[in-house]
Amino acid sequence: MFEHKSGIIYGTTIIGVRHKGKSAMGGDGQVTLGQTIMKHNSRKIRKLHNDQIIAGFAGAAADAFTLFERFEEKLERYSGNLPRVVVELAKDWRTDKYLRRLEALLAIMDDKYSFVVSGTGEVIEPDDGVVAIGSGGNYALAAARSLSRFSDLDAEDIVRESLKIAAEICIYTNENIAVETL
């Protein structure tokens, strides 16, 4: 659950998995305003930089789109060097007076790296290549870690199953799932 300063709750679940040489990221489609479901089939993930990078967001949609624009500009500026781009984005996000007010989280991955980037300057690269954000992120994260260790599923199927499990637990996550793969 992502709570805006105004008290409006923004929730979603985004999960990304690098497994067996493949990368996949998925998200649910629910958009919540307070305690009301406003939309069931929103798309919160997208491929970027010639379909070599997948990014997803949790939080305020307008803020996330602003961050996607900045992220895409940096991808071009630094020729798709993902580790450099996420650090530069986090620095801007933390120091820019306008960007500091944006309330969202980004999950970003390619075929080698996985990151969570926040407005407080965190750039987190998990050890196992699994990234998760949003109100159902921890449920999806636990499911993805278990499925990647104890099943023969590929990355895309792990993402789908993890999102379904999160949707069974988190009221801000639905089963209208979109997945992108690399």
Q: Distance (Å, rounded) from C-alpha 61 to C-alpha 58?
A: 8
Q: Coil, helix or strand for 7? A: coil
Per the CB < 8 A criterion, the answer to whether 59 and 28 are in contact is no
Q: Which residues pair with 53 in a beta bridge?
A: 48
CB atoms under 10 Å from CB of 6, counted, come to 8
Length of the chain: 182
From 12, 13, 32, 173, active-site residue:
12
Compute CA distances 73 → 51, 66, 67, whole Å. Answer: 15, 11, 10
Residue 99's region, left for phi above 0, alpha for psi from -120 to 50, else beta, is alpha
Q: Determine whether 12 is an active site residue.
A: yes
The residues carrying an active-site annotation are 12
